[in-house]
Structure 1
Amino acid sequence: MFQDFSVSARPENGPPRLEALRRIMEAEGVDGFLIPRADVHQGEYVAPCDDRLAWLTGFTGSAGFCAALRDQAGVFVDGRYRVQVKHQVDLGSFTPVHWPETGLAEWLTARMAKGQTLAIDPWLHTVKEGLALATALEDKGVDLRETDNLLDRIWQDRPAPPTEPVMVYPDALAGRSAEDKRTSLAADLRKAGQSAAVLTLPDSLNWLLNIRGADIPRNPIAQCLGILHDDGTVTLFIDAKKLEGIAPLEGVTIAEPAGFAPALSELTGKVAVDYGTAPLAVYGALMAAGATPVDTRDPCALPKAAKTDAEITATRTAHLRDASAVVKFLAWLDSAPKDSLSEIDVVTALEGFRRETNALRDISFETICGSGPNGAIMHYRVTKETNRPLADDTLLLVDSGGQYLDGTTDITRTMALREPGPEERTAYTQVLQGLIAISRARFPKGVAGAHLDALARAPLWAAGRDFDHGTGHGVGVYLSVHEGPQRLSRVSDLPLQPGMILSNEPGYYLEGRFGIRLENLIVVQPAPALPGGDPERTQYAFETLTFVPFDRRLIDVTILAPAERDWLDAYHGEVLAKVGPQLDTAPLAWLTAACAPL
């Protein structure tokens, strides 16, 4: 099993660890210290050795931070984790704070007095975060001090950094050679008058150099840091042991990670730095060296997001392979005796069907399997202690994915465990209508995710409902299942481009009752011309990559518009045509019934 059902952090560990941290704070003469869920790379995923927030507080969500003051501590989480955090932290020591409704600076300045000092580790906060926080605190007379990580002084059993081996990713799957990528991005640097670009996101460097690794569970990346120079060469800061099994990388100089900070001090002229992802320490080192940091989007971000034809072809294959496994799982679940099943049984079975493909390299994230009220915890991860039987529940939400050499998948389906009531069927159908609206969308060049996000919410809004997460995130190809900068979100102003893969996942969550989420992956493509349309206006549409049926027992056909019903019937026809030939008799019979016209 890739998935682990053990409890990785406990609420009762938080209070003594917080008190130990406060003793260090007092000795250092600081009144507060920030603990983000972040590492030096500033990506979404962290290795166990860098999961400081979970170690201190017990909160295991993928985003958040703790502000520890002398007499109180706030754990800041967004809408995805408002239910989860209340179950994972000691509420006597840590107060959940809903962010961004309550800003960090707002919270701090309301609780810290003029002349007090807040300490931060500059390697764990982005340039953008650090500069904004310094300005906000300065206005209130609170000093911001950069220091080493105070928490690390009390984390005695901290795990060692990962050193998993690196593999070379085939050019045939990538669609571009590493040399081509390096040369192209270096030309952009020269055009902008920049001598180098500092790269801290491992998935950017893995994409750039056509390498992969296994340093972070569920993410096939090698942790590293890098500097792209204007001549197209790269200095890669990585543990050399990881590279022992591969040939030398062309155009790449290898250096140990400890050499990254000194190397920054040797850069001159204008240096591209993504203020939204690079650590504040990078900015400080460049300024101290006399270089000029220029706030520039990570140069790998957009070309990585706009997949090559080879990547799209490969990921189509991966999604059909994955779909056959998920369909077999759904057929099994329908026939299995629910009274004897638990959430762990479901997760184990699903991973087993994916393993039977003989192509699964890992799951793409910890499977979210929430029965009944656990489905309302948006990023719920079942453990041996929370494992819930399916016997008494009506709905089961399963959000899962696989990592294959040719693609990364992410799919959510919500299933009826027994006859659903009108409330469940209505909510499910409204969520499905949102997914269909995104799937059918046509939009002109220049439209961003923020312009489309409302399409997925409109059916829920009309009923006075909503969901507290974005409609969709970017997805890599045998890289991170959460990839930026492309998103379907009310705050995303990035224009969508052909080749961008995104999730389409509206939902509805009723705390203490049930959760509903439906998710397909989609890719932006040029839209076919329409009769009478303006041929000079470029339009895009979404191609669906995920082919697994929706639970017809939960669909209220009377709510669907004719166009929505037509889309659903056509989609199910495609599912049967594409996935059916991969199946044996029993799952094929199940799929045929599941895909019958409404």
Structure 2
Amino acid sequence: MSTHKKHRDSQQKLSIKEKLVLLRKKMKELKIDAFLVPHNDMYFNEITAPYYNRLEWVTGFTGSAGFAIIFKKSAVIFTDGRYSIQIQREVNPSFFKIENITKISPFSWLNENIKKNITVGFDPWLHSINEVETQRQALKKLITLKGVKNLIDQVWLGKPFENLAKPFLRPSQLSGKSSSKKITQIQHELNLNIGDGFVLTCPDSICWLTNIRGHDVPNSPLMNGYAIVHYDHVCIYSTKDMYKNSPIELRKNVILKHFNDFFTDVKKLTKILFEPKTTPFILNKKIAAAGIKSERVSNPISLLNAIKNPTELKGSIRSHEKDGVALVRFIKWFKSAKINQLDEISLVTKLEKLRKIEPSFYYNSFDTISATGSNGAITHYRVSLKSNKQVNSSDLTLVDSGGQYLEGTTDVTRTFIKGRPSDEQKFLYTKVLQGLICLSKLRWPTGLTGRELDPLARHFLWEYCLDYDHGTGHGVGVFSNVHQGPQGITKLNNVPLKPGMILSIEPGIYLEGKLGIRLENLAFVKKHKSGSRQNREYLEFETLTLVPFEKNLIEKKLLSTDELNWINAYHQNVYKRLSPYLLDSEKSWLREVCKRP
């Protein structure tokens, strides 16, 4: 179990009912009728440190996507389809009405349900400039948004401390580009002059720009902080005293300051540049009050970070070989272990132990999803002592896991069975596998987006009126966030796919109360080796993940010759790449597993 989960358990000293009483008392003092509670922190991280888990504290919901509105006598919480089962287990419907955020947004819900004048409080550190401005225009005149100091922080008893671990420098031989070259590139792209400053509030972007890594975000080697990129230097602002302990090489590229200096330095700028969709609304207020000239821009780092350079791709390839070795050993252990020795927690523990054998492994890239039987239908299930389930030989077991290695970040899902599978299990597994194969061997013209690729993985399920409520793929960082934009393979993502981007390919099927199947590989986009035809370049994926599939679950008669050939070629590559790092007994086992199904 990860460190931040232990923190979660220690926070639950008050009941949800008692917490709501405290919060509503504070709302009454400030004459606020409702208070907004988003999941994110002031850095807009998807995964938040225990210090920032406000939504979880007040609702009990532990998912990575959610939004609550607390009223004087009622409350409502929103999440997406990934957490539809989980939220019903974790959130008491006596206190919260549960809504699907993909069907109705929190602000649309307010418009539909509010019939009288109300004042809605929000923390201007936790909502972007875009969000506040857009919603103020969209909301009915009855509804007034009012920025306030976070109310939960004022009533949260026993709040965890912020992590003050030291940041560290990732060497250029792994990042592929020095921080000084990256900084110069951004300064030129933004055409910064004396007195200009580009404000960065995303740790992922700041860490890429400076080659810094840290320990502030669970499962991601990031340092929380803000930054200002000037025409000739960069300042980083953090709540910790970094300067005394920072590497000498780092001080040559950036100036390190305490967060208390951030707004003081902002006011000294002649012109401030910022991205409104990732910059907290509090900055807009400060700019307006100081009368500083401002310019709204897109963050150029987002795309540069998404397109991996050759060194980063090489590191990612190596990290997947290391991860593949751990997964092969894990699957071999799972297959040979006695059934009474296997439960969801034992799988999590064993897999992390095997990953830790590799010296460059730091920690898991997210909390391992180990779900057997009906728990597999919970897309982002997290096992606990209370929910821990014994593995049954007739049930499917889904394991979604990943590692942070110094060379790269991994994310892989496989679904296993100990006994003999049913016809239904084989049919569903094979249909999901076909979706993964389809994208893995796809070739497409440049300019297409993830939105256009997404249906290709789903149509094998659509033929039988089946689908899944999550994206087919997300972007992945390199020793950074396991979920990294702007690219993705989803119904809404309109970012063109470009060579060097790493994405997951992870179709699935979930039958509530029965089973879950998901298969996931990571792959990077590259130019098709045969070049262009009709004066147009074509792209394709190269698979990074090296983990065999469950042959017992593959229904051969459903597959085409091309699909069977793809599986065989994939397994041969798995054996070729991993066997040099395995013991003889492990090689023999893998050779058998990788034989043609």
TM-score between both structures, scaled by the size of structure 1: 0.96
Q: What CA distance in whole angstroms lies between the structure 2 residues aligned with 1:535 and 1:404?
A: 41
Partner of 1:268: 270
Partner of 1:214: 215
Q: What CA distance in whole angstroms lies between the structure 1 residues aligned with 2:288 and 2:451?
A: 35
44, 47, 50: which one pairs with 2:46?
44
Q: What CA distance in whole angstroms lies between the structure 2 residues aligned with 1:13 and 1:119?
A: 23
Cα deviation for residue 27 of structure 1 reads 1.3
Q: Is the 8 A contact 1:225 1:238 kept in 2?
A: yes
Q: What CA distance in whole angstroms lies between the structure 1 residues aligned with 2:418 and 2:367?
A: 22
Letter paired with 2:358: T
SS in 1 for 2:485: strand
Tell me: CA distance 1:308–1:30, structure 2 relative to 1, closer, same or farther (3 Å).
same
Letter paired with 1:296: V
Q: Is the 8 A contact 2:393 2:417 kept in 1?
A: no
Q: Is the 8 A contact 1:200 1:225 kept in 2?
A: yes
Q: Is the 8 A contact 1:394 1:419 kept in 2?
A: no
Q: Is the 8 A contact 1:164 1:215 kept in 2?
A: yes
Partner of 2:241: 241
SS in 1 for 2:32: coil
Tell me: CA distance 1:558–1:378, structure 2 relative to 1, closer, same or farther (3 Å).
same
Cα deviation for residue 245 of structure 1 reads 4.4
Q: What CA distance in whole angstroms lies between the structure 2 residues aligned with 1:266 and 1:430?
A: 59
Q: Is the 8 A contact 1:526 1:541 kept in 2?
A: yes
Q: What CA distance in whole angstroms lies between the structure 2 residues aligned with 1:365 and 1:194?
A: 41
Aligned ranges 1:8-19 → 2 under 5 Å: 8=9, 13-19=15-21
Q: Is the 8 A contact 1:168 1:246 kept in 2?
A: yes
Aligned ranges 1:188-587 → 2 under 5 Å: 188-190=189-191, 195-229=196-230, 231-243=231-243, 244-247=245-248, 248-269=250-271, 271-391=272-392, 393-529=394-530, 534=533, 536-587=535-586
Q: Is the 8 A contact 1:15 1:90 kept in 2?
A: no
Q: What CA distance in whole angstroms lies between the structure 1 residues aligned with 2:490 and 2:389?
A: 32
Q: Is the 8 A contact 1:371 1:395 kept in 2?
A: yes
Q: Is the 8 A contact 1:267 1:289 kept in 2?
A: no
Tell me: CA distance 1:14–1:541, structure 2 relative to 1, closer, same or farther (3 Å).
same
* Alignment deviations for residues 154-190 of structure 1 (CA, whole Å, 9 cap, x no partner): 1121112211111111001111010100000100111
Letter paired with 1:592: R
Q: What CA distance in whole angstroms lies between the structure 2 residues aligned with 1:553 and 1:140?
A: 60
* Alignment deviations for residues 106-154 of structure 1 (CA, whole Å, 9 cap, x no partner): 21123333321101001001122111221122x3421111111011111
Partner of 2:178: 177
Q: Is the 8 A contact 1:273 1:295 kept in 2?
A: yes
- Is residue 126 of structure 2 the alignment partner of residue 124 of structure 1? yes
Letter paired with 1:564: E
- Is residue 58 of structure 2 the alignment partner of residue 56 of structure 1? yes
SS in 2 for 1:208: helix
Letter paired with 2:56: A
Q: Is the 8 A contact 2:237 2:258 kept in 1?
A: yes
Letter paired with 1:23: K
Q: Is the 8 A contact 1:431 1:460 kept in 2?
A: yes
Letter paired with 1:398: V
Q: What CA distance in whole angstroms lies between the structure 2 residues aligned with 1:381 and 1:86?
A: 14
Q: What CA distance in whole angstroms lies between the structure 1 residues aligned with 2:2 and 2:115?
A: 48
Letter paired with 1:478: F
SS in 1 for 2:191: helix
* Alignment deviations for residues 472-510 of structure 1 (CA, whole Å, 9 cap, x no partner): 111111111111111111111111111111111111111
Q: What CA distance in whole angstroms lies between the structure 2 residues aligned with 1:434 and 1:292?
A: 50
Q: Is the 8 A contact 1:185 1:232 kept in 2?
A: no
Cα deviation for residue 226 of structure 1 reads 0.5
Cα deviation for residue 297 of structure 1 reads 2.4
Letter paired with 2:106: L
Q: What CA distance in whole angstroms lies between the structure 1 residues aligned with 2:589 and 2:195?
A: 59
Cα deviation for residue 239 of structure 1 reads 3.7
RMSD of aligned residue pairs (Cα, Å):
1.9
Q: Is the 8 A contact 2:393 2:419 kept in 1?
A: no
Q: What CA distance in whole angstroms lies between the structure 2 residues aligned with 1:293 and 1:427?
A: 54
Q: Is the 8 A contact 1:414 1:551 kept in 2?
A: yes
The farther-off stretch of 545-554 and 109-118 is 109-118
Q: Is the 8 A contact 1:401 1:411 kept in 2?
A: yes
Q: Taking every aligned residue pair, what percent have the same amino acid on both sides?
A: 38
Q: Give the count of matched residue pairs.
A: 593
Cα deviation for residue 430 of structure 1 reads 0.8
Q: Is the 8 A contact 2:393 2:418 kept in 1?
A: no
Cα deviation for residue 398 of structure 1 reads 0.3
* Alignment deviations for residues 222-257 of structure 1 (CA, whole Å, 9 cap, x no partner): 11110112x141111024534414215223222211
Letter paired with 2:236: L
Partner of 1:112: 114
Tell me: CA distance 1:308–1:471, structure 2 relative to 1, closer, same or farther (3 Å).
same
* Alignment deviations for residues 285-335 of structure 1 (CA, whole Å, 9 cap, x no partner): 223333344332222111111011001011111100110110010011001
Q: What CA distance in whole angstroms lies between the structure 2 residues aligned with 1:406 and 1:504?
A: 21
Partner of 2:32: 30
Letter paired with 2:118: Q
Q: What CA distance in whole angstroms lies between the structure 1 residues aligned with 2:12 and 2:90?
A: 7
Partner of 1:74: 76
Cα deviation for residue 422 of structure 1 reads 1.3
Partner of 2:187: 186
Q: Is the 8 A contact 1:467 1:507 kept in 2?
A: yes
Q: What CA distance in whole angstroms lies between the structure 2 residues aligned with 1:235 and 1:170?
A: 20
Cα deviation for residue 47 of structure 1 reads 1.2
Q: Is the 8 A contact 2:363 2:404 kept in 1?
A: yes
Cα deviation for residue 528 of structure 1 reads 1.4
Tell me: CA distance 1:374–1:42, structure 2 relative to 1, closer, same or farther (3 Å).
same
Tell me: CA distance 1:426–1:121, structure 2 relative to 1, closer, same or farther (3 Å).
same
Partner of 1:588: 587
Letter paired with 2:379: M
The farther-off stretch of 188-197 and 70-79 is 188-197
Q: What CA distance in whole angstroms lies between the structure 2 residues aligned with 1:147 and 1:252?
A: 33
Letter paired with 1:146: G
Cα deviation for residue 391 of structure 1 reads 2.9
